[in-house]
Amino acid sequence: MADLEVYKNLSPEKVERCMSVMQSGTQMIKLKRGSKGLVRLFYLDEHRTRLRWRPSRKSEKAKILIDSIYKVTEGRQSEIFHRQAEGHFDPSCCFTIYHGNHMESLDLITSNPEEARTWITGLKYLMAGISDEDSLAKRQRTHDQWVKQTFEEADKNGDGLLNIEEIHQLMHKLNVNLPRRKVRQMFQEADTDENQGTLTFEEFCVFYKMMSLRRDLYLLLLSYSDKKDHLTVDELAQFLKVEQKMSNVTTEYCLDIVRKFEVSEENKAKNVLGIEGFTNFMRSPACDIFNPLHQEVYQDMDQPLCNYYIASSHNTYLTGDQLLSQSKVDMYARVLQEGCRCVEVDCWDGPDGEPVVHHGYTLTSKILFRDVVETINKHAFVKNEFPVILSIENHCSVQQRKIAQYLKGIFGDKLDLSSIDTGETKQLPSPQSLKGKILVKGKKLPYHLGDDAEEGEVSDEDSADEIEDECKFKLHYNNGTTEHQVESFIRKKLESLLKESQIRDKEDPDSFTVRALLKATHEGLNAHLKQHPDVKENGKKSHGRSLMTNFGKHKKTTKSRSKSYSTDDEEDTQQNPGKETSQLYRLGRRRKTMKLCRELSDLVVYTNSVAAQDIVDDGTTGNVLSFSETRAHQVVQQKSEQFMIYNQKQLTRIYPSAYRIDSSNFNPLPYWNAGCQLVALNYQSEGRMMQLNRAKFKTNGNCGYVLKPQQMCKGTFNPFSGDPLPANPKKQLILKVISGQQLPKPPDSMFGDRGEIIDPFVEVEIIGLPVDCCKDQTRVVDDNGFNPVWEETLTFTVHMPDIALVRFLVWDHDPIGRDFVGQRTVTFSSLVPGYRHVYLEGLTEASIFVHITINEIYGKWSPLILNPSYTILHFLGATKNRQLQGLKGLFNKNPRHGSSENNSHYVRKRSIGDRILRRTASAPAKGRKKSKMGFQEMVEIKDSVSEASRDQDGVLRRTTRSLQERPVSLPVDKSLLGALSLPISATAKDTEGKEHSLVQI
């Protein structure tokens, strides 16, 4: 955002002139791919928060939030402009707005250069103001905008006033279920002007405050104010010390709170905090669940690189799927500013002697390698100075030297690592010592060649080589018509399948699989090409046939994969002897070599890419081992402790399977638990996995480096054990879920705002080591999303809090299941004790109010008492240990087969009936306390567990707890005796006498 600095100091006259023109509206041509352009009226809304246009079929959705704008470029710089003929438009009348997670571009042409200049200046001024806000100012601005927008959307006739009927409709939209008599009473109290029967915006704000009065916060204030309606400075200090666990609370700090948050001038004069000021303070960032100290770098940054988790991106240049989406240099700028520190660059020989970046063997667009390097150079250290790792996947032959020249010429001193001192231990350097440096991760020439060798042979591990040759698009056609048909068909099929995935359970990672995508694409192509029998055998039809055979082949070879996620090539060979020849061919092909030039090799210093089979335990530092998720899964399953030891000296990168053509993401958790540093995800794909990744790296100032637990850096432990760290104290999280605020209807609600008022419940999930992974949830509150009250306490025991994540989810319960409302995920170590608000990610006002207590627990039996479901895993053999094997055996490509743990992730195909039953069972019954059930986040559990204990996803569900909860005051010894008196084989009975055993949920 450095280029925006100049726009912060524009003169008020110039700012108002720009804003006036933009709010009045300007007719511009909107360029679209494949069309001549559309004339639309573009204007800035009166709050200066969003850009809108009309006419549009999108209606209310025809808008771009100023918050979502990434950058504005002048002239004909975008891809769509480049497709237009030179001289077609005056460059001084053209500009592009890049916005959203996928860097969508809005390409606009004005009638004269002055209009373009005005819009560019005005938009950059607004962006500069937003970039300069602190968290409190942003929270206040978004709240004010939300209230104003709510008022305008409720004003159906646009007269600037709300009548009682419009208020009733607004109540339904806001999920408020109040008696009409009560609503009318508040309406009359707020309606104070001469124009009786309607509310102005100012009166509506009064009405909204009355409606939003928080009983929970009012009772909290009364309890610390000696039943007065305000807090004195001393009472406020007492509240902060006792409840919020704050130290060094000064009088001046409390007075500052009164000055910032109190709205009544009378209260300010008396230095007291009334209920409205107290509410403002409690809803401010100061009382957020995330520790504000963790918004800055606070961890030790002087340890070796291998001691850190490093935020890593896969196929960074792509904006969408792996087959057809656009490649954009701006994706590098976006992920780097989001905190990512390892980006991927796939290099290929391009036309005119210029290397290009794109996804090989696909129809994704190409961008110049030079542009990528320039973008990385510009944005790498804008937000923080910690090192950036450039993961080069080199497919070039003649243009390798050009790649080396661009890297050296553009990055310059950033590549010079000669001054970095690693000491006598030969360990990797630290992030602190590498500040401002760029590390090139790539192949290095073998040492035995000598320094005088200009080039040499190196093994060629291409991540795309996981796909058989027939699966790759090879564009060498004469007839472009059929190629366009195939591309068009695949694009439509992808879009329809991706839309289908969006309406399914957002928390179910297997609800939309790549396998289904490949199968549907294959079947559709088959049908499509049968309808065009007149297409000649040469040219494009051969492409279509190869595409079909390739998908067909994948369908066959993945038959066993659908049963076991950990199936590897050798397993395919054993289970399908007839394929032995093709599998041997694939393995042989993976060992192919390529020529590497000395110039490129010399740029690789601490990040030398090596294959698993090339690992030699010779004490060398600086190797980076790359695994696809399928191979890494197998290693984690069978040799987790040895893998952890390897990761104490070297770096490991895990990347998504090449078959994830929809750019979906795998679960990063098992690999973090094994100490893998570079777990690369598709940053362009939003969803559960990216939310976990974002939460993990938000701590430590979002700098892209998070220190691994000390137990992972020295020594070893079994991450799958029932008690992995018996000598360490555990953490007890006591979480009281009190209430919710402004919870909206589900984002994919079929009826939108007209739908029923939601019946919300909260689910809290602990995500970490297998023994820590579990869920618990509150009861359902009927017909209230505006201010539901749960007042329920959930308790969890966490063995390794340093890597645990706490995930808060809000669901809307309905008769056939549940609908996702929103979520927020926070690292356990960043939780702050006391009364806290958990703002749901991506939603302006929606939050849940909780109280957090964290205790340390000592002793062998603590998890048994506080988390009874723990004993199930324990008795099933979760503590079974494996003997430590040598490092050489870690990457053995011929593992033992047939053991139950190798096939523990048994994925069954679910029918619609199964899904409905499962979704219904997962929601708690209304009006009563639900039983706690554990949840196994890591589907890769390797212990011998009967199939009866797994649900349809292959996920281990712990047994349900008795409905009769253990009261907090129950003596520990009685609880312990009660737990020990139960026979291991006995089933527990709930209060109704129903038996609970290990069953499918």
Distance CA 659, CA 321 (A): 11
Contact assessment for residue 631 and residue 568, using Cβ atoms and an 8 Å cutoff: yes
Cβ-proximal residues to 59 (8 Å cutoff; 6+ apart), any chain = none
List beta partners, residue 855: 732
Return the beta strands (E) in 600-640 as ranges. Answer: 608-610, 623-628
In the numeric block, which tokens belong to residue 977?
A: 């005796």
Distance CA 37, CA 51 (A): 19
Instruction: Give the CA diameter of the chain.
Output: 93
Contacts made by residues 568-572, CB under 8 angstroms, sequence distance 24+: 568/630, 568/631, 568/634, 568/893, 570/893, 570/894, 570/895, 571/897
Sign of CA dihedral 961, 965, 968, 974: negative
Is residue 836 exposed (0-12), middle (13-18) or buried (19+ Cβ within 10 Å)?
buried
Quote the Cα angle for 510-515-517, to 5°: 100
Quote the DSSP letter at residue 807: E
Strand order in the sheet with 63-65: 63-65, 50-54, 38-44, 26-31, 104-109, 94-99, 69-74
Phi, psi of 235 (to 5 degrees): -70, -40
- Please list, residue by residue across 492-518, b when 16 or more beta carbons sit within 10 angstroms of its beta carbon and e when fewer do: ebbeebbeebeeebbbbbbbbbbbbbb
In the numeric block, which tokens belong to residue 554?
A: 């994948």
Distance CA 172, CA 167 (A): 9
Contact assessment for residue 762 and residue 810, using Cβ atoms and an 8 Å cutoff: yes
Phi, psi of 198 (to 5 degrees): -140, 155
In the numeric block, which tokens belong to residue 731?
A: 């953490």
In the numeric block, which tokens belong to residue 601?
A: 């090799």
Tell me the angle at which helices 164-173 and 180-190 cross, rounded to the nearest 10 degrees. Answer: 120
Contact assessment for residue 16 and residue 22, using Cβ atoms and an 8 Å cutoff: no
Is residue 989 exposed (0-12), middle (13-18) or buried (19+ Cβ within 10 Å)?
exposed
Cα-trace Rg, the chain: 30
Quote the Cα angle for 616-620-622, to 5°: 110
Secondary structure class of 625 (helix, strand, coil) = strand
In the numeric block, which tokens belong to residue 178?
A: 């109040």
Distance CA 135, CA 999 (A): 47
Instruction: Quickly tell me which residue has 């036309």 as its tokens.
Output: 351
Sign of CA dihedral 84, 86, 92, 93: negative
List beta partners, residue 764: 776, 808
Distance CA 711, CA 502 (A): 39
C-alpha distances in angstroms, 136 versus 78, 258, 267, 519? 35, 15, 21, 49
Element (H, E) at 514: helix 514-530
- CA neighbor of 310 nearest in space, from 722, 624, 741, 614: 624
- CA neighbor of 910 nearest in space, from 515, 333, 445: 515
Active site residues: 314, 358
Cβ-proximal residues to 705 (8 Å cutoff; 6+ apart), any chain = 299, 301, 308, 309, 310, 311, 341, 386, 431
- Segments in 827-928 forming alpha helices (H): 862-866, 870-875, 912-922
